[in-house]
Amino acid sequence: MREYDYVIVGAGSAGCVLANRLSADPRTSVCLLEAGGGDKSPLLHVPAGWAATFNNKKYDWAYETEPEPELNNRRIFWPRGKALGGSSSINGMIYIRGVPVDFAAWEQAGAKGWSWEDVLPYFVKAERQQTFDDDLHGSEGPLHVQDVVDKRPIHETFLDAMEEQGVPRNADFNGIDQAGCGYYQFTQKNGRRWSAASAYLNPARGRSNLDIKTNVQTQRIIFEGKKAIGVETERSGRVAVIKARHVIVSCGAIGSPQLLELSGVGDSERLSALGINVNHHLPDVGEHLQDHLLSKIVYGTRPDISFNREVTGVRLVPAALKWFFMRKGPLTTGSAPVGAFLYTRDGLEAPDIQVHFASGATLYNEDGKIRALSEPAMTAVVNQSRPESRGSIHINSADHRQHPQIQANYLSTELDRRTMVDGMKLLLKVFESKALASSVTTRLAPFPELDRLDDEALLNHIREDASTVYHPTSTCSIGKVVDENLRVKGLDGLSVVDASVMPYVVSGNTNAATIMLAERNADYLVANIK
């Protein structure tokens, strides 16, 4: 049986980075395991294909939460990528790093060496920026970052409406100051999705010291005493053991605590009740879950404005041809071309609300899949950047095939409820601006039948409408489950490297920060794991 230097469980954003950086030394052997398949499907490369991957069991784990008490006991659909590239192969591609105050909070939580000054060089290292050329951005990294390709007049109109409400333009949300409104940057190259697999894994595929295994489900980590020595896997009913000097868990905020608990690492009482032999009592595994919650405002609009009509019916054909031959048009669109970062109150160090705007509108079908609204419409969503609410993710079975229980506990604090309501009020004022007057028709959400939307009505709408922005973090956080070098506390030969280690969710979309922390940890592993 071959023994590797490293086995990496999960080929998502962090796993792809680690596979590339660790295998760069031809003397180092690396095995990368992915439960999903490859990333050849056009759905994973056409930017607008992200919506079609949701609840597609080939590419999506299709999780859902337990009934959420503050969301009228609704279960919230949680898509997570299941293919090479992980969630970077199905996400909305928005590139946001977070702000210095985020990383200051990380340090205060025990993540020594993770301040803004410490992490900025790794953002720069990862990035191949196509617009900005300064000390805050990189131009030689593997991760292509591109401006919006399909800019539309309505995008400028929305930004004009923001300015009318006193929100200044911001040309770079990843610059000195996050506050303001403007265009998002996307992880794309020439109008094509640029996932972590595209950026990091594909350039390393030819290395003889890197083995990439797909459709392999890792059942548990194998220990000798307090040292991890490999993993037990299953593929098509066949069980195999893969040994390694160092095991890296990169399964994301859901999969990483799940694998640790299945391996006997977690709260001893919880694991014993499930008949799992306890290898190491670590009660914070699966705790401290954080996520961004969104609520949307939808207005009808003229047919010539809405994105909806261009991607439905026969109009989809010319859109597809335009993308295929020119890498332009509506299919280059990510989740939201423009947005904003806003303050809901004075005295904050950074904006506490993020806004995403799209010139179309979508609905979830009962099966969890996304479809475009049949009528022409536009959407803006608001989410709280730094929520106080904390949830948990825990297994409820010793069977690795069973999804864990996800309890997000959205809106469990008064501050979170207040911030979301105030954010909705700010956004409604934008839609009442003169700049948008000729573009909007009927308000479709929230509660079009109500002339006055007071705080109670808005909170009721949020409870009935709100969903995830797909940013779960912090279930194996630094200072609680792993140390500042991302090594699991009390164990040898075992690290966790993914969004689960973030002590706090960053202010914005999480993919950039996940790639950053993998870049930084790769440097640590190369220098210290012999």
Mean residue pLDDT across the chain: 94
Look at residue 371 in the predicted model and tell me its pLDDT: 66
Q: How would DSSP label each residue in 203-254?
A: GGTT-TTEEEE-S-EEEEEEEETTEEEEEEEEETTEEEEEEEEEEEE--HHH
Q: Among residues 299, 324, 254, 331, which one has the least CA distance to residue 61?
A: 254
Report, as an integer, the average pLDDT of 215-242: 96
Backbone angles phi, psi at 384, to 5 degrees: -80, 130
Give the residue-averaged pLDDT of 21-32: 98
Query: What is the location of CATH 3.30.410.40 in the chain?
Result: 149-183+293-384+411-465
The superfamily (CATH) of domain 1-146+185-289+399-408+472-530 is FAD/NAD(P)-binding domain (3.50.50.60)
User: Alpha-carbon distance 272 to 264, whole Å?
Assistant: 9
Rounded Cα distance between 463 and 451, Å, is 19
pLDDT at 503 exceeding the cut of 70: yes
Helix extents (H) in 290-339: 316-326
> Residue 226 pLDDT more than 70?
yes
| Residue linked to tokens 């591609």 | 93
Query: What gap in Å lies between CA 501 and CA 98, rounded to an integer?
Result: 15
Task: Please name the amino acid found at residue 443.
Answer: R
Around Cβ 414, how many Cβ atoms within 10 Å? 9
Q: Confidence band (pLDDT; 50, 70, 90) for 492?
A: very high
pLDDT of 364 > 70? The answer is no
Q: Is residue 312 scored above 70 in pLDDT?
A: no
Specify the 3-state DSSP secondary structure of 478.
strand
- Fill in the amino acid letter for 168: P
Q: What is the pLDDT of residues 139-189, one digit of tens each?
A: 999 999 999 998 999 999 999 999 999 999 999 999 989 999 999 999 999
Render pLDDT for 49-97 as a digit per residue (tens, 0 to 9): 888 898 899 999 999 999 999 999 999 999 999 999 999 999 999 999 9
Instruction: Report the 10 Å Cβ neighbour count for 241.
Output: 11
Cα–Cα dist 383/398, whole Å: 35
Residue 314: predicted pLDDT: 63
Q: What is the pLDDT of residue 180?
A: 98
Quote the pLDDT of residue 369. Answer: 59
Beta bridge partners of 169: 181
Per the structure block, which two tokens stand in for 237?
A: 């009913």
Catalytic residue among 356, 394, 400, 471: 471
Please tell me the distance from the alpha carbon of residue 516 to that of residue 530, in angstroms, as a whole number: 23
* Token representation of residue 440: 């909007």
Residue with tokens 């593997």, as numbered in its chain: 142
With 0-12 / 13-18 / 19 or more C-beta atoms within 10 angstroms meaning exposed / middle / buried, residue 361 is buried
Catalytic: 471?
Answer: yes
Which residues on adjacent β-strands are paired with residue 407?
392
Residue 303, pLDDT score: 84
Nearest residue to 182 via CA among 131, 141, 121: 131
Please say if the pLDDT value at position 206 is more than 80. yes
CB within 8 Å of 47: residues ≥ 6 apart: 93, 186, 188, 191, 192, 193, 331, 332, 333, 334
> Under a CB-based contact definition with an 8 Å cutoff, are residues 244 and 7 in contact?
yes
The pLDDT assigned to 327 comes to 86
Domain with CATH 3.50.50.60 in the chain: 1-146+185-289+399-408+472-530
pLDDT exceeds cutoff 70 at 367:
no
Q: What pLDDT is recorded for position 372?
A: 67
CATH class entry, domain 149-183+293-384+411-465 = alpha beta
List, in order, residues 6 or more apart from 415 with CB less than 8 Å away: 388
Q: Tens of pLDDT along 401-442?
A: 999 999 999 999 999 999 999 999 999 999 999 999 999 999
Q: 146-182 as b/e, with b when 16 or more CB fall inside 10 Å?
A: bebbbebebbebbbbbbbebebeebebbbeeebbbbb
pLDDT exceeds 70 at position 365: no
Pairing of strands 227-235, 217-224: antiparallel
Instruction: Judge contact between 33 and 231, C-beta under 8 A.
Output: yes
Report DSSP letters for 60-89, one per residue: B--EEPSPBGGGTTBPPEE--B-BTTGGGG
Residue 305 pLDDT class (50, 70, 90 cuts): confident
Angle formed by the axes of helices 511-528 and 116-126, to 10°? 100
Q: How many residues does the chain have?
A: 530
Q: Are 246 and 529 in contact (CB under 8 A)?
A: yes
Name the band, by pLDDT with cuts 50, 70 and 90, for residue 315. low
| pLDDT, tens digit (0-9, with 9 covering 90-100), for 267-292 | 999 999 999 999 999 999 999 999 99
Name the DSSP class of 184.
Answer: P
